[in-house]
Amino acid sequence: MTIDSDFIAGFEVPLHRSLAEPILLGGAPRNVAILNGTLAAVVGLGLQLWIPGLVLWLVGHSLAVWGARLDPQFLQVFARHIKHRPLLDV
């Protein structure tokens, strides 16, 4: 019986890849993609401003994809950042 230094018997658990990766729609976080699509649909369909609605969706989705490439949890980080009080402001 040999003891492998990397693994201890009984303490090895397989981890599925979907538990470690963020949920993205088209490269953007799911909640941002849904909110952005809904807002663009309201502008495009509800107000019948087709071009501004399309531009709003394109710009919003591009910014969300860019942010998700830098950090997939950028929304949680930004929300926590907003909650903190400024340190050096008078």
3-class state of residue 83 by DSSP: helix
Q: What is the CA radius of gyration of the chain?
A: 21
Do residues 64 and 32 touch, judged by C-beta distance below 8 A? Answer: yes
| Dihedral angle computed from the Cα positions of residues 28, 29, 33 and 35, in that order, rounded to the nearest 10 degrees | -150
Cα distance between residue 64 and residue 58, in whole Å: 10
Question: 28 CB contacts (<8 Å, ≥6 apart)?
Answer: 36, 61, 64, 65, 68
The pTM of the full predicted model, rounded to 2 decimals, is 0.73
For residues 28 and 12, what is the distance between their CA atoms, to the nearest angstrom? 33
User: Per-residue pLDDT tens for 26-84?
Assistant: 999 999 999 999 999 999 999 999 999 999 999 999 999 999 999 989 999 999 999 98
